[in-house]
Amino acid sequence: MENAHRTVADHTPTASFADQFRRARALSEALAAPLSDADATIQSMEDASPAKWHLAHTTWFFETFLLRDRLAGYTLYDEQFPFLFNSYYEAEGARIARFSRGMLSRPTLDDVLGYRRAVSEAMEPLLDRADCADLIALGIAHEQQHQELLLTDIKHALFQNPLGPAMFAPVVRARQAQAAGWFEHPGGIALIGHDGDGFAFDNEAPRHRVLLEPFALSRGLITNRDWQAFIDDGGYRNAVLWLSDGWAWVQGEGIEAPLYWHGEEQFTHAGWQVRDPDAPVTHISYFEADAFASWAGHRLPTEFEWEAIAAAGDPAEGDQVDQAAPILPRATTSLFGSCWQWTRSAYLPYPRFRPAEGAVGEYNGKFMSGQFVLKGASCATARGHSRASYRNFFYPHQRWQFTGLRLAKDI
């Protein structure tokens, strides 16, 4: 998700638009509030980044693409920060290696929060400028993506600690029923991609036609109980179920269960907790999702099938992030929320796709290789961030995100 941005729609500045900016900035800080400076500095693997770095990088985005380029007389907060907090923008010059982000003991967390305050304040004159609206909308969406990354990255970091530290206090929540049955679709021509109404990233466009054969999509997500049955039936030991690359990954990495499972427990933002058998399974790779679908006698949906069903749904439904609180997936009757859902679709450009000019054009196009599309939203996604056309994407072995699955079948 670090590599997916760019708007394709115009925005008219309004008071609520400015409020969106302020709320997004405040939520990032609220999510990081339980963390110590040490918590916020550690980096558990190259795929992840320190919480402190996420807070600074999202600030660098606004400073670089708006304040530096659009606000007359603006002076950089610290001339060293662009080197420290640029992510992958080649057009923006040299930057610290990604695997070295966890070595940044300085600036401290307090220093980064001071940077955020200064940049947020400096942004105020731009929030009602029409010529800045498109980039501000992009910056807000970019910050929301990094809120989810902050949550998933710190979860992976705290998981490395043998004490199993909690970020949030555990909360008992009412269980929800998992939806049963199937959505059926007769097939035919479907319009896929963003319709141009409101914000979207460039990888969601252009809108185009796709031919679908008759299919069905499961109403419910696969649960921990379902996954335990897969394990008990030897799913991780049966090579017939696995793609060749997946089987090599299982054997090479010694994979026996989803990430964060141990016995009857799983690691959460509230530390080690007894696993809810009726909650959606999460933290699985594309390889695992595909093997489970084969074991179940079905398959993963294509991204186009998923979108055709979800187009009539409400993207704001389901478990998603509204405030700093325990992040736990629950059973849902919605296509959105709880976990991102793997599809069998390779992450590739749509017909007539062209990346934007300049540095922001590096957001998507250069990553369209070797990854798979996920749809929906997760319990770590800011509510309102996703939509039916949204294309999340990760490599097939990655599973530290809240990734799960929903089955499909031909009819």
pLDDT by 10s per residue, the chain, length 411: 444 333 333 344 555 789 999 999 999 999 999 999 999 999 999 999 999 999 999 999 999 999 999 999 999 999 999 999 999 888 899 999 999 999 999 999 999 999 999 999 999 999 999 999 999 999 999 999 999 999 999 999 999 999 999 999 987 777 777 788 999 999 999 999 999 999 999 999 999 999 999 999 999 999 999 999 999 999 999 999 999 999 999 999 999 999 999 999 999 999 999 999 999 999 999 999 999 999 999 999 999 999 999 999 999 999 999 988 878 888 888 999 999 999 999 999 999 998 877 666 666 678 899 999 999 999 999 999 999 999 999 999 999 999 999 999 999
The number of angstroms, rounded, from the C-alpha of 305 to the middle of its chain's C-alpha atoms is: 20
pLDDT score recorded for residue 326: 74
pLDDT score recorded for residue 327: 83
The number of angstroms, rounded, from the C-alpha of 25 to the middle of its chain's C-alpha atoms is: 17
Q: Token pair of 299, please? A: 């398959």
**Bridge-based pairing state of the strands 403-404 and 339-346:** parallel
Q: What are the contacts of 25-28 at 24+ separation with CB within 8 A?
A: 25/116, 25/120, 25/143, 27/147, 27/321, 27/323, 27/324, 27/382, 28/54, 28/55, 28/58, 28/116, 28/143, 28/146, 28/147, 28/150
Cα(45)–Cα(69) distance, integer angstroms: 33
Q: How far is CA 59 from CA 77, 107, 279, 377, in A?
A: 11, 14, 35, 24
Residue written as token pair 């929540």: 173
pLDDT score recorded for residue 359: 66
pLDDT score recorded for residue 11: 43
Cα(266)–Cα(136) distance, integer angstroms: 38
Cα(356)–Cα(371) distance, integer angstroms: 21
Helix (H, G, I), strand (E, B) or coil at 299: strand
Query: Do 182 and 219 contact (CB within 8 A), yes or no?
Result: yes
pLDDT score recorded for residue 351: 96
Cα(232)–Cα(384) distance, integer angstroms: 38
Cα(381)–Cα(341) distance, integer angstroms: 13
Alpha helix (H) residue ranges in 257-382: 286-295, 303-310
DSSP state letter for 125: G
290 CB-side CA count, 13 A: 21
CATH 3.40.50.620 for the 182-410 domain, yes or no:
no
Nearest to 10 by CA among 140, 145, 135: 135
- Verdict on whether the full-model pTM lies above 0.85: yes
Query: Do 289 and 246 contact (CB within 8 A), yes or no?
Result: no
Helix (H, G, I), strand (E, B) or coil at 235: helix
